[in-house]
Structures are given as structure tokens and as C-alpha cells.
Copies of this chain bind each other. A is one copy, B any other.
Amino acid sequence: MEAASSDMALNADYGQALALVRAKSVDDVVATMRFAYDHALPVVPQGAMTGINGGANAIDGCILLSVRAMDRVLDIDATNHTVTVEPGIINADLKKTLAEQNLAYPPDPGSMAISSIGGNIATNAGGLCCVKYGVTRDYVREIKVVLPDGTLTRLGRKTAKGVAGLDLCSLFVGSEGTLGVIVEATLEVIALPPEPLTAVATFPTEHEAAATVSAYMATGLRPSLLEFLDGITINLLNNFGDFGLDDSVGAMLIMQSDAPTAASDVERFTEIAEENGALDVAFSDNTADNEALIATRRCVQPANELYARSHGGGQLIEDICIPRSAMPEFFDGLAEIRKETHTTIAVVAHAGDGNTHPSIFYDAKDPQSRAHAEEAFEQILDLGLRLGGTITGEHGIGSVKARWLTKELDEGSRRLHREIKNAVDPLGIANPGKMLGAL
């Protein structure tokens, strides 16, 4: 139970659970929720526990309700392009099954090899391809959920369109277990996209890279991936693996296009990068090379963790999403914050969406170092809000940012949140304290 009490956040507390239920069926979930409701016990829904905000962490006296073992594909409808699954299935496993039929479920969080579809839905997970393909919510047509009192209900619809009633399906997408438990989902799928072309551009500082992103996206061309890595991140990657990246540069962009116009898209990207001061632009249509590069990109978090472990173990991960045009200003602000708080901050970003992930490192055994990191964390959230952004583009609120949610939402919205939570979960047993806990 201890092992099942915390997700992958390095800085989130967790409590002492009462019990762990490993549901094998919808009936198990219904029975658990009925029991919890009858005894007014808090329930923490759990998928694969890869969250990084403490959302799935135990709270004192709770029932941990894992749906990870409910991982079947129930139906693939290749004609209508939908798939129906249980919530525990791992994102990458679903992708593999679909690929056999030339189909794809696009959402690809960095954690796709280890996170569950139910968790993806409960956090409205983003990823690398959303710049072209959208986020999890864009693919969820219908869900079955077990409400806090144990009622099983169907929300949304299986068809391509539908407006019968309020959009309660979207209300549950991204609700982080605070409204009920997702026990089944029908997702839209698409034809497997072709292999992308890839371009890699390096820049003297973050500024030129940010300007390139803003200018390229303003053309209206849709890359299928547009990732940013700052110099520190590149160094940490080289330390982690034998990647041989040029770590003398200030920033790097990885751009992919899987459009029929990929060749000219990559050319246009090259032009714009060069106009904006790129040091070097290379491109490749070699699938193995490209996959290796993206695999390297997916190593950023392990590389960061390795660095953190050898520097006192602390890491706070931000998830600020800002208008793309505000990125240069964001990096200026970040430089100030680094100086003021004496912190090391590495930045990786789903740049095409303006979704940045600064990682703040600290020595977990040194209270002053931790205080500095926390100060930097707060200042970055403030900076993001000031630039017209949000405190979380994809990772969610969990317990780590619950207090901050009150800053982003205005009074009317906070009240609406409370009223709706209370209407759906009058006893307050669905993942209490998480996300909405400070409102």
C-alpha cells in the first residue's frame, strides 16, 4: 500500500491510506464507491501513477481505487474510426494495437509508455503531437463513469457530433478524479499518419528559438511536433546518455511535419530559423534517426531526474502555457528569476503550443535551497499568469498547485467550481483536497 500511495511528483506529500482496491471490473468500482459513499470515506482514483502533481496520492483514511488492471480493448470500429477501452490500458499499448489496423490514437504524453488512458482522460493529457493533433479531450467521445454515490452513467456519445444536453463528458475530462471514476471510454481514432520529416535547428540563445517558433506558427503551417530544449537541458541529456548533441548552443528546436507538404514545410521552417538567427539547421527523412532523436527528447525527464539525484534530489516541474508570442519575454523573466533565487532551471517546451516545462532543481536536504526553489516556482507561476498564460498546460493541478488555482480563476469561476463539485459530490469523497481543495 505504501508503494501505491504516491505518484511521480518528487515534492508532493501523501497520507496514510485505509485500503487499496484493485478493481477488475465496473462492478468492482461500483461496489467500492457505494461502500465509500455509505461510510463517507474518501476515494482516490488511480491509473498508472505517473502523474507529477500528487493527484493520485493517498490522503489519510482514504480508499485507493486503482483501475489499472481494467485494461482491455473492448471494441475497435475501423469503419467509424472509434475504439472502446477500459481505463487501465497503457497509452502506448493502445497505440500498438491500433497500428496493426493502420489506425492511430494521437495523444502522446511524454509518459505514453507508462501512463493509462483513464489517467490521460482524467488529466486531459497533452504531449508532443498536440500542436497538430490536439489534446486528449479532442478524442474522447463517450465515457462511462461511476459517480461518487456508485451510480454508473454514460456521458457524451459515440457519433462524430452531438449536442444532446450539457457537455458533461468534457466536464469529466481533466477533472482529476474529483467528480467520479472513469471506467470506460470510446475514443476517436484516425488513420495512421505517415512518417514525418524532421528538422533540428540550434540557436545562440533561447530568444532566437522562441522568435522562430512564433514566426513559424504564425504562418498557419501545422508541424506535427515542435519541441524546444534550452542549453542546460541539452547538457543534462548528454550527461544522461551518449547522445552527442551540440551542447555549446543556447537552445535547440526539433520540428517535424507529417503533412503531404512536409518537404516544403521543413524548408520554410529552415528559412524562418535562419532569418531569426539560427546557428545551424539540419534535416532528415531517415526514420531510424528521427525516432532516435525523439526518443532522446523523451529522455529529458529521466535526464533531469539523474541530475536532480546527484544534486540533492529536489526537482519542481512547471507547466506554464503562454501565448507563443510571449515566449521571448518569458525567457527574460526566467533569467531574472534564476539570478534572484540562485536556482538552476532547465527548460523544455512543447513550443508550438507555448507550453513550457521549466525544471527547478534543489537540494532536498537543504531548507534554504528548497525555499529558493519554491520561491522560483511561485515567481514562474506569477510570470506565466502575467503574460496571459495558465499555471498548467497539461500536467494538471493535483495537490501541488491547488493553492495556485485560486490565483488563476476569478471569484465567479471559483464559486462555480465549488458549486458544481458540491452538486456532483455532496459528501466530498471523490479525491478530496486535490485540484479544487483550496477553492
Contact = CB atoms under 8 A, between A and B. Distances in A.
A311 interface: no
Contact of A423 (B219, B221, B422): B422
A248 to B, nearest CB: 30
A367 interface: no
A412 interface: yes
Contacts of A412: 147, 151-154
Interface in A157-174: 157-168, 170-171, 173-174
A323 B158 CA distance: 7
Contacts of A391: 164
A395 B134 CA distance: 25
A167 B416 contact: no
Nearest to A326: B80
Given A79-B324, A80-B323, A424-B419, A397 B164 contact: yes
Nearest to A146: B412
A69 interface: no
Nearest to A126: B161
A303 interface: no
A196 interface: no
Interface in A1-59: none
B164 A392 contact: yes
Contact of A160 (B355, B410, B423): B355
A138 interface: yes
A244 interface: no
A275 to B, nearest CB: 15
A153 B416 contact: yes
A416 B353 CA distance: 33
Interface string A164-192: 11111011011100110000000000111
How many copies are assembled? Answer: 2
A366 interface: no
A386 interface: no
B392 A321 contact: no
Contacts of A214: 79
Interface in A373-399: 388-397
Contact of A171 (B170, B217, B395): B170
Interface in A108-153: 123-124, 126, 130-131, 134-135, 137-138, 147, 151-153
Interface in A178-237: 178-179, 190-192, 214, 217-221
Contacts of A152: 412
Nearest to A261: B260
A396 B174 contact: no
How many of chain A's residues touch chain B, expressed as a range? 35 or more
A171 to B, nearest CB: 5
A282 interface: no
Nearest to A435: B165
Given A260-B261, A416-B147, A80 B160 contact: no
A168 B414 CA distance: 11
Given A138-B138, A191-B219, A261-B260, A405 B170 contact: no
B155 A413 contact: yes
A327 to B, nearest CB: 11
A337 interface: no
A81 interface: yes
Contacts of A162: 321, 390, 392-393
A220 B81 contact: yes
B409 A164 contact: yes
25 contacts: A79-B217, A81-B218, A130-B161, A152-B412, A154-B410, A154-B412, A157-B390, A159-B390, A159-B393, A160-B321, A160-B355, A161-B321, A161-B394, A163-B390, A164-B408, A165-B413, A166-B175, A166-B179, A167-B174, A168-B420, A191-B220, A260-B260, A420-B424, A422-B423, A423-B423
Given A124-B163, A259-B260, 6 more contacts: A79-B323, A165-B405, A167-B170, A167-B173, A167-B175, A419-B424
| Those 10 A-B pairs whose CB atoms lie nearest each other, nearest first | A191-B220, A153-B412, A170-B170, A423-B423, A162-B390, A160-B353, A419-B423, A151-B412, A161-B393, A159-B321
